[in-house]
Chains A and B, each alone.
Chain A
Amino acid sequence: ILNVEQSPQSLHVQEGDSTNFTCSFPSSNFYALHWYRWETAKSPEALFVMTLNGDEKKKGRISATLNTKEGYSYLYIKGSQPEDSATYLCAFLYNFNKFYFGSGTKLNVKP
């Protein structure tokens, strides 16, 4: 079993704050790194699929970067809103066919 770590485990911020979380993964046999957003009582949904070292992806106020050589990815949320409250999961795709998930960062944005 490969180790994929996310930090912090949980985060409480005020509306308008910017925040970021980290996903660490093995730097060998890298194929892709996915970020998923999981709202309570819903299904996880993909935010970003990142495959190249140095990749930067952006969707609205949310962006992500990838460093495959050192084995980490950052997810940034600019100007957090209450609707951003969710658990953010990263998943490391190993050997083209198996995903290893981190335990997630649970974000709570207070109005």
Chain B
Amino acid sequence: DGGITQSPKYLFRKEGQNVTLSCEQNLNHDAMYWYRQDPGQGLRLIYYSQIVNDFQKGDIAEGYSVSREKKESFPLTVTSAQKNPTAFYLCASREGQFGTGELFFGEGSRLTVL
């Protein structure tokens, strides 16, 4: 079955540590996205990538970094510079670089800073 796999589902981090969230898709989609969701809030865009080896900052990129070395993979690193990293992180993909269709979501990764 085609889909998006995020790992880990739950992650605990001590303050000052960097953590990397994995996102892999086998839908052959060009575009991939990372969103953050806080309780009672909508989705806010962190980074997105329309093509391999290229990515763009979203609305809340500070304290995060990404890479897109393969079409299937778009990992997100939450760095120690992110002051409030506890949140639900969602990876998504979309067909075409400038597609008009829907986003497909992974199951999400919940990060808690201890």
B partners with A: no
